[in-house]
Structure 1
Amino acid sequence: MRKIILLFIAFSLASASFAQHKADSLAMLKPAKPSPPIGVEFFAGNNDLAFQMMVSKHFSPKSRFGFFNVTQFVGDYATTNQKNSFISQSFLTADIWKGFSINTGVTMNYMTGFRPSAGLQYVFANRKFTAVLLPRFDLTQTYNFETFGLVEYKPKFKNNWGLYSRVQGLYNHNTKLDTHNRSYIWLRVGASYKNYQFGLGSNFDYYGPLKINENSMGVFVRAELF
Structure 2
Amino acid sequence: MKRFLLSLSVMFAAAIAKTQPLILEGLAGDHYLFYQHLIAKNFSAESAFGVMHIANVSSFYTSNKNKEAKAPEVMNQAYLTAKLNKSLTLLTGIFYSNATGIRVAAGLQYAVPFKNGLWVTVPRVDIMNGGSAELMSVLELQPAIKEHTKLYFRIQAMSNVGPYHHNRSYQRVRLGITIKGTQVGVGMNLDEYGRQTKVHVNTGIFLRRDIS
TM-score range, shorter chain: 0.7 to 0.9
1:149 and 1:90 map into 2 onto residues whose CA distance is 18
Question: Does the 8 Å contact 1:202/1:216 carry over to 2?
Answer: yes
| Separation of aligned partners in 2, 1:184 and 1:150 | 12
Asked if the contact 1:152–1:166 (Cα under 8 Å) also holds between the matched residues in 2, the reply is yes
Matched, 1:92 2:80: yes
1:17 aligned partner: none
Unaligned runs of 5+ in 1: 1-35
Separation of aligned partners in 2, 1:123 and 1:89: 18
Give, as a single letter, the amino acid of the residue that structure 2 aligns with 1:215. Answer: V
The more displaced of 157-166 and 195-204 is 157-166
Q: Does 1:223 align with 2:180?
A: no
Q: 1:57 aligns with which of 38, 41, 46?
A: 41
Distance change in 2, residues 1:181/1:83 (3 Å):
farther
2:32 matched residue in structure 1: 48
Q: Deviations over 1:96-141 (max 9, x none)?
A: 2221022110000010111111121112346732222111111124
Identity %: 31
Q: How far, CA to CA, are the matches of 1:148 and 1:54 in structure 2?
A: 14
TM-score under structure 1 length normalisation: 0.77
Amino acid at match of 2:51: F
Q: Please say if 1:181 is aligned against 2:154.
A: no
Alpha-carbon deviation of 1:63? 1.4
Question: Per-residue displacement from partner, 1:160-184 (whole Å, max 9, x unpaired)?
Answer: 1111110001111112xx2110000
Aligned residues between the structures: 189
Q: TM-score, normalised by structure 2?
A: 0.82
AA matched with 1:138: D
- The CA RMSD measured in Å over matched residues stands at 1.9
Q: Who is 1:133 aligned against?
A: 121
Q: Is the contact made by 1:83 and 1:207 (CA closer than 8 Å) also made in structure 2?
A: no
Structure with the greater alpha carbon radius of gyration: 1
TM-superposed CA distance for 1:57, in Å, is: 2.9
Quote the offset at 1:210 in angstroms: 1.2
Using the alignment, how far apart are the partners of 1:131 and 1:58 within structure 2?
20
Q: What residue identity is the alignment partner of 1:70?
A: I
- The offset of 1:83, in angstroms, is 5.8
Letter in 2 for 1:196: T
